[in-house]
């Protein structure tokens, strides 16, 4: 099913039930010209295809990677499905939250409109223990925010890490590069990783490295200095400044050409910066194609492989507890 909303700022949004996905977000630029700023497909069939790169979806049960697809809870080891070389990625290959149909219900209130999605993941789905009842609420507010609120409860101890995997191009989807976008991150540290994408456990300073976005920097300015040929771009978790659990501004992304600016606020400890390195000309909306670097993801999250890293913030959820987190994307146009 498809769900739609508009706001007083001239924004329009579309969501689909497969993957509880943000499929369109139309935003005016500094001249008042509206463009869709997220990558995706024209219909749900595209999202079910093999070319889907998690465009706009809700990612889980565990967003990002878990080493060897294994973790241990209360002395019992669990084996998850492997779908990223030797590791588990984004909830699994067949029944991750991005690949299932959610129940959706639209709503409208005085500050905006949106949709509430619900899905019950059964015990054992993709190897995860326990039934997980998940709710994702999207609200398009009249001040230009896309508020995403997550809740989940379980009947057995399990690990949970949810995020949204929207690919942003503030010049408009179909623009061939986002490397001219200027990014500032509230992150003094990041988590180095091995060749398969698993964090080493180190928390490293960004100062003096290509990972330093503490001052506004074009995404492409130092991308060739990364020295990780298997990635050919950014696909890294940044350790956010501030206290996890408290919602704070963590990122600003600006397209100088259109004047659109996206800010990101979250209560999570980390954000994955991904520059669309693995896009290879997939067909997208309106007959365009998506080459590498044609969008950027800012995925608010717990750290990758937290279930196997006791020094990382915990992602363990037990019966009687409620997983809650929020991400607020806000987009508008500035004279930049």
- What is the distance between the alpha carbons of residues 160 and 166, in angstroms, rounded to a whole number? 19
Sign of the Cα pseudo-torsion (163, 230, 52, 298, in order): positive
Q: What is the DSSP string of 106-156?
A: EEEETTEEEEEEEEEEPTTGGG--S-EEEEEEEEEETTSEEEEEEEEEESS
131-139 contacts at long range (C-beta below 8 A, 24 or more positions apart):
131/155, 131/156, 132/61, 132/158, 132/160, 134/58, 134/60, 134/97, 134/162, 136/20, 136/58, 136/102, 136/162, 138/13, 138/15, 138/22, 138/114, 139/111, 139/112, 139/113, 139/114
Residues of the domain holding 312: 2-333
Q: What is the pLDDT, as a whole number, of residue 232?
A: 87
Nearest residue to 176 (alpha-carbon basis) of 263, 279, 330: 279
Core vs surface per residue 308-332: b (16+ CB within 10 A) or e: bbeebeebbbeeeeebebbbbbbbb
Q: What is the pLDDT, as a whole number, of residue 50?
A: 73
Q: What is the pLDDT, as a whole number, of residue 117?
A: 99
Cα separation of the two ends of the chain: 38
Q: Which residues contact 216 (CB under 8 A, 6 or more apart)?
A: 182, 183, 184, 252, 254
* CB-CB contact of 139 with 145 (8 Å): yes
Q: Which residues contact 71 (CB under 8 A, 6 or more apart)?
A: 77, 78, 80, 159, 307, 308
Q: Which residues contact 208 (CB under 8 A, 6 or more apart)?
A: none
Q: What is the pLDDT, as a whole number, of residue 334?
A: 81
Nearest residue to 263 (alpha-carbon basis) of 119, 147, 100: 147
CATH number of the domain encompassing residue 325: 2.70.98.10
Q: Which residues contact 228 (CB under 8 A, 6 or more apart)?
A: none
Main-chain dihedrals φ then ψ at residue 63, nearest 5 degrees? -70, 145
The reply to whether omega before 218 is within 30° of 0 (cis) is: no
- pTM of the predicted structure, to 2 decimals: 0.97
Counting beta carbons within 10 angstroms of the beta carbon of residue 72, is it exposed (0 to 12), middle (13 to 18) or buried (19 or more)? exposed
- What is the distance between the alpha carbons of residues 74 and 319, in angstroms, rounded to a whole number? 14
**pLDDT tens readout for residues 215-250:** 999 999 999 999 876 668 999 999 999 999 999 999
The set of catalytic residues is: 165, 299
State the Rg of the chain over Cα. 19
pLDDT, block means (10 residues), the chain with 336 residues: 96 98 98 98 89 93 99 99 96 96 97 97 99 99 98 99 99 98 99 96 98 99 85 94 97 98 99 97 95 98 99 99 99 78
Which runs of consecutive H residues, i.e. helices, occur in the chain? 44-47
- The domain total for the chain is 1
* CB-CB contact of 106 with 113 (8 Å): yes
């Amino acid at each position: 099913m498809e769900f739609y909303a508009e706001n007083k700022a001239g924004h329009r949004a579309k969501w689909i039930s497969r993957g509880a996905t943000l499929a369109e977000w139309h935003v005016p630029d500094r001249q008042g010209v509206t463009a869709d700023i997220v990558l995706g497909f024209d219909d749900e069939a595209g999202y079910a295809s093999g070319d889907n790169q998690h465009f706009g979806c809700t990612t889980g049960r565990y967003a990002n990677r878990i080493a060897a697809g294994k973790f241990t809870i209360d002395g019992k080891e669990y084996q998850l499905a492997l779908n990223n070389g030797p590791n588990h990625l984004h909830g699994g290959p067949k029944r991750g939250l991005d690949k299932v149909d959610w129940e959706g219900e639209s709503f409208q209130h005085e500050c905006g409109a949106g949709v509430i999605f619900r899905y019950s993941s059964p015990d054992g789905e993709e190897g995860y223990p326990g039934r997980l009842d998940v709710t994702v609420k999207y609200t398009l507010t009249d001040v230009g925010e896309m508020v995403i609120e997550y809740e989940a409860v379980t009947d057995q101890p399990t690990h949970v890490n949810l995020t949204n995997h929207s690919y942003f191009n503030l010049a408009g989807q179909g623009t061939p590069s986002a490397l001219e976008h200027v990014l500032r991150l509230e992150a003094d540290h990041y988590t180095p990783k091995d060749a398969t994408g698993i964090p080493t456990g180190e928390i490293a300073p960004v100062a003096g490295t290509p990972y330093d976005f503490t001052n506004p920097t074009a995404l492409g300015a130092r991308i060739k200095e990364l020295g990780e040929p298997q990635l050919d771009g950014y696909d890294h978790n940044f350790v956010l400044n501030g206290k996890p659990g408290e919602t704070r501004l963590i990122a600003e992304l600006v397209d100088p050409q259109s004047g659109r600016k996206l800010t990101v606020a979250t209560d999570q400890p980390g954000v994955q910066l991904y520059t669309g390195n693995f896009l290879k000309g997939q067909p997208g909306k309106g007959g365009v194609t998506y080459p590498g670097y044609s969008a950027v993801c800012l995925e608010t999250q717990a750290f990758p492989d937290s279930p196997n890293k006791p020094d990382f913030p915990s992602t363990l959820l037990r019966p009687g507890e409620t997983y809650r987190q929020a991400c607020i994307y806000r987009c508008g146009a500035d004279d930049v």
